[in-house]
Amino acid sequence: QDGPQRKKRKSEVGEVDKQLDVLAIGTAVGSILLYSTVKGELQSKLDGGHDSRVNCVRWHQDNCCLYSCSDDKHIVEWNTQTCKVKCKWKGDNSSVTCLCISPDGKMLLSAGRTIKLWDLETKEVYRHFTGHATSVSSLMFTTVKPMNESKPFDGITGLYFLSGAIHDRLLSVWYIRSDRKEKNAVMSFTVTDEPTFVDLAVSEVKEEPVKLAVVCRDGQLHLFEHILNGYCKKPLTSNCTIQIATPGNDGDSTPKPVPILAAAFCTDKQSLLLVYGNTLQPIIEKVSLNTSESHICLVRDIQKVLSLKTDAALTKVKTPVVNSDTKVLVPGIPGHSTAVKTPALGKEKKKNKRKPGETEESIEERLGALDIDVSKVKTPGGLPQTDSFAVLLVQGLESNDAEILNKVLNTRKETIVKNTVARMPIHAVIPLLHELTKRLQGNPYSASVMVRWLKSVFTLHASYLSTLPDLIPQLGMLYQLMESRVKTLQKLSRLHGRLFILVTQVAASQTVQDVPEVNQTAKLVYEDDSSEEEGSDDEMIADKDSDENWDEDEEKEEQSDEQDMTVEKEINGDSDLEPENESEEE
């Protein structure tokens, strides 16, 4: 931060000259340390400003003034001479992560997720900007003067500034307008990974493009050159990408990438300072810019440079030389000592050989002598115990042994299945799922057993499976298989219902046919006298009725015959010729 203007100012004032070497360091507890790089010691400590971790510290152009922001949502203005808080105000509803002071020193940019532009005199918000979805990690002004020189310059209107956020691959450029309407970014630069270090060469002339160097987390450096002249819809890609790799000549033939840690433009704006390699022993190199090529890979042999000397560990523990006469005290309870039994030299060692007449004891007898239940030791049917199922399953999956897998996967006991899946190592979960998918495609009988294993795997290892980035292609086959089976379930259930009705009806009809016919003849008839008399009277009445009915029927028949005769005569013409005979016939 040693610009030419500041050097002049520092050389004029004698007291300020002492602060040329001061480095401000924010700490996790909320205090700020002022460290003198020349003396190599702590100069002073700023306390009482923040309650939480300090996220960003920025020196003002006035050297005695320092700004800091913290997770406690506040921005603090410090006086570094008195080491006291000048002013403190709330900067955001969440933690404030980044600060940047305007070129004229009258405005301050602060950012958590949204970006605010503060007036440092009144400590009020001058402009609001939408910001990023995550916490902002870098803020800097890209222009010193506005591009449109026709209007008078108030020190801030018409300037552009840049912002980058964590886990965000886009660097946004914002434009400070005279009105408050526009809050969105006017353009953006896209990079390959999250930006970790950003440096730019500020454009002071209208036609001069802004040069931007962005170091990403993946170790690549992206260079941009763009003239800021208003709104641009598409994100701008880098003009040049720089990578560093090892030559790969010696033992290892494949070149390895070397991460770039930081980059900064030199004062001539035509060359770059690159910091790369190990964070403990970084290498700083000056590289001339050549943006005509879109991709540059610098070959650097850092193995020879980065040989960190690891001396043999020096130990201060000395092992004493012990004579045979000295007595060694063992740590224990003081005042208590036990006699060490030394084997007598005169006694012969007991020989383990059997006499020729004796017979060897069986293992069962030996276990009986040891008071161990023999039935517990023997495994029924030679099957492995529950504890060894998980080991067997992993061995079967690694060696792809069908016999072991069949023995383990064909178990039907829920407790064994759950215990086995719970004791499995995490790396065997995906191979087990692939094996279960293969077996599900086979016989439906085996599929019903495999579903139990699937259920246990998904319930016990769901948290691990959800962390896998390629879970969808891994389980794609299984998902399609289950989908196809579930589709036929409705049709099968309908068919099952119809067949069930048919079978029950056939069974019911067979049971009806098999029942013997019931004999309808009465086994016992009871006759009473009164009932016989009533019956005879009834019979008499019935006979009379029938006689009367008979007479009526005869009369009706005669009348019908006579009518038929008259009709025939009329037809034959007898009635006209012989009218006298009619009376006789009547």
Do 108 and 212 lie in one domain? The reply is yes
Do 142 and 291 lie in one domain? The reply is yes
Do 295 and 415 lie in one domain? The reply is no
pLDDT at 254: 79
Burial of 30 (0-12, 13-18, 19+ CB in 10 A): buried
pLDDT at 157: 85
Residue 526 lies in a domain: no
Residue 306 lies in a domain: no
Q: Can you tell me whether residue 50 is helix, strand or coil?
A: coil
Answer whether 435's CB lies under 8 Å from 444's CB.
Answer: no
Residue 272 lies in a domain: yes
Do 395 and 251 lie in one domain? The reply is no
Residues 282/286/289/295 CA torsion (nearest 10 deg) = -30
Residue 332 lies in a domain: no
pLDDT at 379: 43
Give me the tens of pLDDT residue by residue for the chain, a chain 586 residues long.
333 333 333 333 334 455 568 899 999 999 999 999 888 899 999 998 899 999 999 999 876 899 999 999 999 999 988 999 999 999 999 999 999 999 888 899 999 989 999 999 999 999 999 889 899 999 999 888 877 766 777 888 888 899 999 989 999 999 988 877 778 889 999 998 999 999 998 877 777 888 999 999 999 999 999 888 888 888 999 989 999 988 876 665 678 889 999 999 998 888 999 999 888 888 999 998 876 888 988 888 876 555 555 444 556 676 667 677 777 665 655 555 555 555 555 444 444 555 555 667 777 777 777 765 444 444 444 454 545 788 888 888 888 888 888 888 888 888 888 898 888 888 888 889 888 888 888 777 778 888 888 899 989 888 888 888 888 887 888 888 888 888 888 888 999 999 999 999 999 888 887 776 667 777 788 887 665 555 555 555 555 555 556 555 656 666 666 666 655 555 555 544 454 554 555 5
Do 290 and 411 lie in one domain? The reply is no
pLDDT at 551: 58
Do 281 and 397 lie in one domain? The reply is no
Do 144 and 263 lie in one domain? The reply is yes
Residue 249 lies in a domain: yes
Domain boundary among 272, 299, 326: 299
Do 256 and 120 lie in one domain? The reply is yes
Answer whether 292's CB lies under 8 Å from 241's CB.
Answer: no
Domain boundary among 485, 508, 526: 485
Do 277 and 398 lie in one domain? The reply is no
Q: Which residues pair with 297 in a beta bridge?
A: 243
Residue 403 lies in a domain: yes
Give the total number of structural domains in the chain. Answer: 2
pLDDT at 293: 83
Do 294 and 393 lie in one domain? The reply is no
Q: Which phi and psi angles does 362 have, rounded to 5°?
A: -75, 165
Residue 223 lies in a domain: yes
For the sheet containing 260-265, what is the strand order? 260-265, 271-277, 282-288
> What's the domain range around 455?
389-485
Rounded CA separation 394/400 (Å):
9
pLDDT at 261: 93
Do 396 and 276 lie in one domain? The reply is no
Do 278 and 425 lie in one domain? The reply is no
Residue 444 lies in a domain: yes
CATH number where 176 lies: 2.130.10.10
Q: Measuring CA to CA, how many Å separate 11 from each of 18, 101, 237, 336?
A: 10, 22, 43, 78
pLDDT at 179: 79
Domain boundary among 465, 485, 505: 485
